[in-house]
Amino acid sequence: MSIRTVEPFAGATWVIDGVKLWWRDPRAFGFYGLWLGVLGILPSVVAGAGMQIAALVQFVSLIASSLVVLALFYVAREVDEGRGAGPGQLFRALQGGKAGRLLIGVLGPQLLALMAIGLLLSWLVGFEEAERFANTIQELQAGGAGAITPDALAGLPLAGILLWIAAAVAVIIAIGLLTFTLLPDMIFGDIGLLAALGRSVRACLRNLPAMLLFAIAMCVVGVVAMMAVGVVGVLLVPLMGQALAGLALNAIFVALLAPISTNAIYLGWKQLLGPDDNANAAPPPTDRVAM
């Protein structure tokens, strides 16, 4: 398989086609997306149950969420090829001896991002200043709008916090783009972890305009999903209360966005690195670079 160079607008096309793919089988994608959303809020639900229980739930949720993410790629392929996708896709990642490296492929970039964000926080703000900022924000929230005064905000590392947020967003986007094809290449291309990572980095750097348009298009879809969830929130908050409704809305948001994201990544992999017969279904590549 070769690394293909595509037109810049291909990145936005992946997202649009990812939405269309979701629409072809919303039940299957909704099933796995909702599981991912529920697993995401589960640690918050049991946060007050004790440190040991919370840590155990966090670990189980992390592994289970990774399996669901991998399952979403299998679901994307099944639906894309005109087949149905059922609950059995959840355990596909455990078959064929790939489970270990696939889980590392899911968790590794997340851990790398967390480490980088932590180092940036220490460098740009400092942990003590960050803790003081967090405590001040909690006090301001408890005191209401009247507590927000120039004196209360004086001395807070606002510039450092804003710079850290911008740097953290940049790190997340960079890691996400550079590992764009990592998982589908390992799943469907039967490529090893390091080889798949290298192919992903080269493919993304060669198609940087398309990757940037992909990121922008996903942000637009995320905003639309957030607005839709906000409409649902107007109905849920009076029924469930602010706290429970917030958890439910977060789960719904993930359930909507995660399948579209994995669909777009799967379609992007097909065009950039997939078998040659898959490239014919996408806009023709402008260049090819042999491995």
- CB neighbourhood size of 18 (10 A): 26
Pairing, β 287-289 against β 3-5:
antiparallel
Q: Is the pLDDT of residue 288 over 80?
A: no
> Which stretch of DSSP H or E encloses residue 288?
strand 287-289
pLDDT average, residue stretch 51-67: 84
- Residues 117-155: b if buried by 16+ CB within 10 A, e if exposed: beebbeebbeeebbeebeeeeeebeeeeeeeeeeeeeee
Give the domain extent around 256: 3-289
Total tally of structural domains belonging to the chain: 1
pLDDT average, residue stretch 202-210: 93
pTM above 0.85, yes or no: no
Tell me which amino acid residue 269 is.
W
> Which stretch of DSSP H or E encloses residue 4?
strand 3-5
* Predicted local distance difference test score (pLDDT) of residue 284: 45
Residues 6+ apart with CB under 8 A from 166: none
More confident of the two residues 47 and 185 = 185
212-236: per-residue pLDDT in tens?
999 999 999 999 999 999 898 888 8
